[in-house]
Amino acid sequence: MLRKVLGKGKKTNSPYEEEPVRKKRSTRGQASGVGGSSQQQPPQQSQEQQGDLSYAESLMVNHPYLPSSQRSWSNRFYREDCKKMYVHIQKFKMLQEKGFCEGLPEVPAINQQLRNRKWLKFNGLTEKGKYVGNPRMVREFYANAFHKKGALSDCKVYVRGRLVEYTDTEINRLLGAVVPRQCMFSAMKDEIENWNLDVRNPVKEFLGRPGTEWLKYSGGERPTKIRLGDFKPVARAWGEWVARNL
């Protein structure tokens, strides 16, 4: 059932999915006239000129009041250390997202939760075959969002000529998701370490198959982990969805 719910995993990115580096067209004049004299080309229309801009130049057009100290280091990278981070994360294998097919209307326990939380749009973005991603742009995003530990961030990242905000509020606004006042999962995750077995066992009984045992996390003092393979079908489907997409 889980395979039907989430579908088979796709292979990691193909080089054909990545966009080639955008090149700037030459604007040099062409030789013309008698005796080999050269004549400058007439000025292009403003729209055409903007289409010929590099990503770094586009940033200045899109954000004209940006201080010179905040301009991008290159077309693809905001700072020089972002390029180094890109080279580093290129070695990492991408985790393929997986969405419930069409919101899985045949499983009300899943479909209704997607509707209640307004996650249908987000789920649709992760469905297999609906959209073709750009792995290079994804890596550029993460590389440019890199900050040293303890550094302050305004949650804006340079992506090919634009500054993209990635705050929780902006992401949820884009997806149209319902934002609860408090995340029940986060609250329970923080508290469960201090729960004794009598309090934790109802969680195991609700999520796990008969005979499921608590396991310890690496370095943990108490057994607070349930193996994903021991989850009941619907709980396991949610576990896979959360692990792949969130």
- Is 8 among the domain residues? no
| pLDDT at 208 > cutoff 60 | yes
Mean pLDDT of 186-197: 80
Q: Is the pLDDT of residue 36 over 50?
A: no
Same structural domain, 66 and 150: yes
Measured in residues, the chain has a length of 246
Kindly state the average pLDDT of the residues 43-55: 59
pLDDT the model gives residue 19:
52
Q: Is the pLDDT of residue 50 over 80?
A: no
The answer to whether residues 76 and 101 belong to one domain is yes
Interhelix angle 80-89/135-144, nearest 10 degrees: 130
3-class secondary-structure state, position 75: coil
Does residue 85 sit within a domain? yes
Average of pLDDT values for 23-52? 46
- Quick one: pLDDT at residue 3? 52
Q: What is the predicted pLDDT for the residue at 37?
A: 43
Q: What is the pLDDT of residue 17?
A: 47
Q: Write down the pLDDT at residue 183.
A: 80
DSSP letter string, 27-53: ---EE-SGGG-EEPPPPPPHHHHHHH-
Residue 99: closest CA among 3, 5, 215? 5
Total domains present in the chain:
2
pLDDT-derived band at 130 (thresholds 50, 70, 90) equals confident
- Do 83 and 154 fall within a single domain? yes
Is the pLDDT at 2 greater than 50? The verdict is: no
Q: Is residue 60 part of a domain?
A: yes
**In the predicted structure, residue 70 carries a pLDDT above the cut 60:** yes
Interval 43-64 mean pLDDT = 70
Tell whether 19 is covered by a domain. Answer: no
pLDDT score recorded for residue 23: 46
Q: Is residue 213 part of a domain?
A: yes
Whether 153 and 83 map to the same domain: the answer is yes
Residue 7: pLDDT over 80: no
Tell which of 146, 179, 212 closes a domain: 179
Q: What is the mean pLDDT of residues 100-109?
A: 94
* CA 138-139-144 angle, 5° bins: 105
Tokens of 47: 């729209």
Decide the pairing of beta strands 38-39 and 30-31: antiparallel
Residues 73 and 165 in one domain: yes
Is 90 exceeded by the pLDDT of residue 229? yes
- Is residue 170 located within the same domain as residue 193? no
Paired residues of 216 in beta bridges: 223
Does 203 lie in the same domain as 162? no
Q: Are residues 73 and 150 in the same domain?
A: yes
Question: For the chain, what is the mean pLDDT?
Answer: 80
Query: Which residue matches tokens 């005796």?
Result: 35
Inside any domain, residue 241? yes
Domain stop point among 133, 149, 179 = 179
Do 98 and 141 have their domain in common?
yes
Query: Which structural domain, as residue segments, surrounds residue 231?
Result: 182-246
The top-scoring range by mean pLDDT among 17-31, 108-122, 140-154 is: 108-122
**Residue that finishes a domain, picked among 135, 152, 179:** 179
Residue 71 sits in the same domain as residue 151: yes
Q: Are residues 78 and 150 in the same domain?
A: yes
Residue 31: predicted pLDDT: 42
Specify whether 227 is located in the same domain as 145. Answer: no
Residue 41 lies in a domain: no
Identify whether 246 is part of a domain.
yes
Percent of the chain exceeding pLDDT 90 equals 42
pLDDT at residue 43 greater than cutoff 50: no
